[in-house]
Each structure stands twice: as C-alpha cells, then as structure tokens.
Structure 1
C-alpha cells in the first residue's frame, strides 16, 4: 500500500464558496473529476507532497502550514493489490495563483453546493461532504473490479 495526497482548494467568490476539482487526464481514475494530488515521493512529508502536487497539477502555490487535514482513507483493491493506497486529504484556503491545466488535470472551480459527485470516484459522496463541513474522516473503503465501493469501515 502506498501513500497519496489530495488537496481541495476552497475560494470564496460572489458570496459562494467554491472548490477546485479537475478532470483527470491520465492514470488511475482517468476521466473522473478529482482533487489535485498524487503519490508521495520517497523522503517527502505528506505536506511537502501535497504542496508539490497542487503546484504540479494546477500551478497554485500554497504553504505547508496552510494545509488543513480533513481525511485519511485506506483504499484496498482486493483483486488489484498493486492499486491499494492510503489517501491523505487536505483543504487549503490560502494560496496564490490562478489554476491552469497540466498534463495530469484540467482544473475547474465548482460551487461547493454543486460538487459533481456523479463524475467522481463513488466513495467521494460518502465522506467528502462531512469532511468539507469540518469533520475529520477516517475510513477504509474497499474498491471492486468495476471501481465501485464494495464496503466502508468508518473509524473514530
């Protein structure tokens, strides 16, 4: 099982809070809407990886100290163990720059009340709303052959 990070930038605009998501262009989840993120590299802290991935995928610049942890999710893929991963999710409200597309992601701002869950990994609708509302989420989400959710175990 390897570690990944995902960052959800939030921005207040015209009285509405928006979240930055993007269409994944390559790799696992290609075509889905996801938060900017990726694998933690050897020797990197989770926060270092989150800041690096955010910049690489969107060109947004954030400080490690501005990241707010919102979830740790274990994703076993029983029939594809090489995909099994532990995901560390963060919010960030303080950042610089305007999001631009990269080789990995086509970023787009969405009103927080209109997150496109039908285009995301199926588990996102189970935990992301609570995490965005201020709760820290810990869970194990088992993923099946069709990338659907086989089961969820919530931890306290």
Structure 2
C-alpha cells in the first residue's frame, strides 16, 4: 500500500453566548473545496507556519475578525480520507476561541454568520459534521478519522480514538 499525503489544515470555531444559548460562527463557502457548504473557518497551513498562526490568519482572512493567539484553544485533531480522490485527504488541527466582539465580514471565500449551537443546519454541512462537531462545541477534545464514501458525500466510517 502506498503512502497517501494529507494536506495540513486548521479549523477554528468561534463561540459566543446568544439569546437562546451558545452560538458558533460558521460560513457559507463561496469558492474552492466545499463551495456551497456551510463550514468552519479555516484553511491550509502555509509553509513553516504553526497551526495556531494559521488558525488566527485564516479567521482574519475569512471573517475580518482578529484573534489574539493566546486566547485560541486547541480542540483536537481530525483527518479525512477520500478514497475516490486521495488528493483531497486532509489532517486538521481544531481550535476554538471566544467571540471578541468584532462583527464578521464576508470575504471572497466565506460568508460568515452566527448559528445557534442547538440548531445547526446539518443538511447544509458536510455529512461528517454531526460525527464530531458537537463534541468540539461541547468543549471535548476530538481525535478522529473520517473515511468518506466513494461518492465523496457520505461517511463510510468514523473512528474516534
């Protein structure tokens, strides 16, 4: 079996108290991988950049929100395998941060918006999202591997370590 590379990425979930409970900042992906889906803010780690630095940079690029690195918490790791498209394989470091009071602004790539944690629009997200996002938003550390089905849409398996 040949070694398959995994792109190094970060995902960052900003959370805040809302009128009906906690809220999370997600964004409608406008371009690139996952376009048309509701996703967490994040993206690729550039060169020698640390995962934390990438999370702070990506949040600012995608929403205009400037985070203080010391206030960003690591929330675990997750990897995705796409057997039908191995070039899509990713290994992500997950982060959470509290809202800093700056309103999010849309970027060319993402249209960010706050969503109630207890009423997330799962049909608008990747099908793997319910397997691990609730744990992140509940403050539990995630260590998981998701294998997507050959249709690149459904989940073939989800392993939490």
Query: Shorter-chain TM-score category?
Result: over 0.9
Checking the alignment, whether the CA contact within 8 Å between 1:62 and 1:96 is kept in structure 2 is no
Match of 1:45 in 2: 50
**TM-score, structure 1 normalization:** 0.94
Select which of 63, 68, 72 maps to 1:67: 72
Deviations 1:111-139 (A, max 9, x none): 11111111111111011112211211111
Checking the alignment, whether the CA contact within 8 Å between 2:84 and 2:151 is kept in structure 1 is no
Select which of 151, 156, 159 maps to 1:150: 156
Measure how far apart 1:12 and its partner are.
1.5
Q: How many residues align?
A: 155
Question: Would you identify which runs of 4 or more consecutive aligned residues in structure 1 move more than 6 Å?
Answer: none
Cα distance in 1 for partners of 2:99, 2:125 equals 25
What SS is found at the alignment partner of 1:11? strand
Match of 1:29 in 2: 34
Select which of 84, 98, 103 maps to 1:79: 84
Query: Unpaired runs of 5+ in structure 2?
Result: 1-5
- How is 1:107-146 mapped onto 2 (pairs within 5 angstroms)? 107-146=112-151
Deviations 1:26-75 (A, max 9, x none): 11111000011100000100000000000000000101111112231111
The two structures, once aligned, show a CA RMSD in angstroms of 1.3
